[in-house]
Amino acid sequence: MRLILLGAPGVGKGTQARKIALEFNIPHVSTGDILRAEISSQSILGRKAEEFVHTGKLVPDEIVLQMIKEEFKTDKFKAGFLMDGFPRTLEQAENFSKLLKELNLNINKVINISIDENEIIRRITNRIVCKDCEKVFKLSDFEEDENLKCDFCGSELYKRKDDSEEVIKNRLEVYKAQTEPLVEFYKNQGLLENVDGLGTENEIFERILARL
Ligand code: ADP
């Protein structure tokens, strides 16, 4: 199964991506997770990406494309993959199609998750994530003096720097201008499946599975 997940920030892509990857036993490639890990280790790539990620801008295409080409050098993607947060621009999508062609691979489906903008802002301002496994939690599920710890790996939970209300608005604008055109791009290739992102995690997961 070779899949791409599309959708604005906060629609639940990361959460669904983890569930899908587990269900089909395929690698989950999240460019956001890779970039955050590079930033936290202050690698050369991380230092180049830091300013863009923290202000909600896209990291330049050539940096992200280089990252993906490196990833796809290993054989683990032959049996399948799930892309989360990539491609994010037409330039990235076109280059990704080229790369897959060279590797003799095709995409089976592109799942586009959508919800309305107010719900997105509500969700993102309420979210905290695990600093190690990136599992997402709701701040409102914790008591005020409760320890913010991940129930999966035990690590600390933190608020992403780009999850402030100001930066979110910027990220939504960037999404509309640069990523939304990909919906049409994949629709024209007959690959697109639209999924309503409003509901419980499991309801949305079932909707996705029904389209695969
Ligand atoms: P979200 O989907 O919630 O915006 P991500 O974790 O996918 O979060 O991305 C966080 C940030 O990482 C983006 O705002 C952007 O700065 C950077 N980023 C992630 N993927 C890409 C990409 N494919 N191209 C450019 N920048 C990216």
- The pick from 16, 35, 40, 83 for probing ligand 1's pocket by mutation, whose C-beta has the most ligand atoms within 8 angstroms, reads 35
| 130 within domain boundaries | no
Q: What is the pLDDT of residue 63?
A: 96
The response to whether residue 56 sits with its C-beta less than 6 Å from ligand 1 reads yes
pTM above the 0.85 mark?
A: yes
User: What CATH number should be reported for the domain holding residue 198?
Assistant: 3.40.50.300
Domain limits at 8? 2-26+79-115+173-210
| 74 within domain boundaries | no
Active-site annotation holds for 171: yes
| 143 within domain boundaries | no
Average pLDDT of adjacent 10-residue blocks, the chain of 212 residues: 95 94 96 93 95 94 95 89 97 97 96 94 92 91 91 93 88 95 98 96 97 95
Active-site annotation holds for 13: yes
CA distance 24 to 95: 26
| 185 within domain boundaries | yes
- Pairing state between β 2-6 and 81-84: parallel
How many independent structural domains does the chain possess? 1
Q: What is the pLDDT of residue 32?
A: 93
CA 30 to ligand 1: nearest atom = 7
Q: What is the pLDDT of residue 145?
A: 85
Residue 35's closest CA among 85, 83, 110? Answer: 85
Query: How many angstroms is it from 139 CA to the middle of ligand 1?
Result: 21
